[in-house]
Amino acid sequence: MRGVTPVPTAFRVNRDLSLEVGETTPAPIGPGEVRVRPAYAGVCGSDLHAAHTGAWIEYWPATLGHEVVAVVAESSEAGAAVGDRVVVDSRIPCRACADCAVSPRFCADLTWLGESRPGGFATDLVVPAASLFPVPDGLPLDVAVLAEPLAVVLRALDALPAGVERVLVQGYGPIGALAHRVLAARGVRVAVSEARQDRLDLAASRGAEPLDRIDAVIDAAGFPGSVRAAVQAVRRGGTVLVVALGAHPIDVVAQDLVEHGVQIATSIGFDDGDIPRALELLAADPEGYAAVISTRIPLAELPATLTGRADTLGKLVVEVAP
């Protein structure tokens, strides 16, 4: 009916870890906040872990979803006008501690959208106006949704030493696939190791090749023994970059590291300028990056999808209100 505002709906994780989509009450807008209508939201591995275990969740029932692209629906804040297409920065740091002074991604009290306040698997969302980044004209929203995971990749790749020419990517999920695309665009040769044959075939179709004398290994897999495998694969004096959040001990002999001169680096999250960097890359090659997304589902199908393994070939994206 004309003039009737649809009732907001949201995905919820209940305290008993049951999952549902149902009607919700619009959140009030506080000082410095705006209301947005999520269009698409990416499903991250952290969403799967939180939905299955309750980890990191600070309120119940919880609405997850931190990779969000949306349209501003209500705002009185400068720089955020109704109708603006935006990506939401999901980080919630304290911005007052000594670690935040180095980078908000190192904040000991850092939380994320969806974990400490409702996230983007919902048709109505209230967020700080300062967390919004404009989507470039012409960039489809269903590609702009990759901005946050791509920002994570760009921050990680900054940790690689200059002059790297041959890189092995361990794990060809969304992060591994995004890293491959960025590296290939920079002229870096890429090899891929992956347990799933269909993902290996996909990587090969995108130019992955067998390589020897590996300059750096990016561990985007995080399986037990993955860091040890990376240390064994990299050349003497090479670098192992750990990105995956593997919850297992690292079984590496210190003598091997020292005698082979292997450097181990890690990367977590992204910094303030990384989402704009990611949006610039996405806008320059939207069709290429869109290929990283293998599966799109409506919001209503999210509980059933997350109840299963949600083991898609590439990135899983929720169509909230496209």
Question: Which pLDDT does position 179 carry in this prediction?
Answer: 98
List Cβ neighbours of 133 (8 Å cut-off, separation of 6 or more).
86, 87, 88, 89, 147, 275, 276, 279
pLDDT band (50, 70, 90) for residue 177: very high
pLDDT, one tens digit per residue, over 201-243 is: 999 999 999 999 999 999 999 999 999 999 999 999 999 999 9
The letter for the amino acid at 185 is A
Does domain 9-151+270-319 fall into CATH 1.20.1300.10?
no
Burial-class residue 151 by CB neighbours within 10 Å (0-12, 13-18, 19+): buried
* Residue-averaged pLDDT of the chain: 95
For residues 178 and 153, is the Cβ–Cβ distance under 8 A?
Answer: yes
CA distance 147 to 126: 19
Q: Rounded to two decimals, what is the model's pTM?
A: 0.96
Angle at CA 53, nearest 5°, toward 49 and 56?
75
Mean pLDDT for 273-295 is 97
Confidence check: pLDDT of 3 > 60:
no
Alpha helices in 211-273 (DSSP H): 226-233, 254-260
Question: Which pLDDT does position 5 carry in this prediction?
Answer: 58
Delimiting residues of CATH 3.90.180.10 domain(s) in the chain: 9-151+270-319
pLDDT band (50, 70, 90) for residue 7: confident
Question: Which pLDDT does position 310 carry in this prediction?
Answer: 75
Three-class HEC string of 46-108: HHHHHHHHCCCCCCCCECCCCEEEEEEEECCCCCCCCCCEEEECCEECCCCCHHHHHCHHHCC
Delimiting residues of CATH 3.40.50.720 domain(s) in the chain: 159-266
CA distance 298 to 302: 7
Question: Which pLDDT does position 309 carry in this prediction?
Answer: 72
Mean pLDDT for 250-264 is 92
CA distance 206 to 181: 8
Question: Which pLDDT does position 51 carry in this prediction?
Answer: 96
Mean pLDDT for 40-65 is 96
Domain 159-266: give its CATH architecture: 3-Layer(aba) Sandwich (3.40)
pLDDT, one tens digit per residue, over 70-92 is: 999 999 999 899 999 999 999 99
Mean pLDDT for 251-259 is 91
pLDDT, one tens digit per residue, over 35-52 is: 999 999 999 999 999 999
CA distance 209 to 190: 6
Question: Which pLDDT does position 1 carry in this prediction?
Answer: 39
For residues 146 and 289, is the Cβ–Cβ distance under 8 A?
Answer: yes
pLDDT, one tens digit per residue, over 101-111 is: 999 999 999 99
CA distance 205 to 139: 25
List Cβ neighbours of 3 (8 Å cut-off, separation of 6 or more).
none
pLDDT band (50, 70, 90) for residue 248: confident
Q: What percent of the chain has pLDDT over 90?
A: 92
Confidence check: pLDDT of 197 > 80:
yes
pLDDT, one tens digit per residue, over 138-163 is: 999 999 999 999 999 999 999 999 99
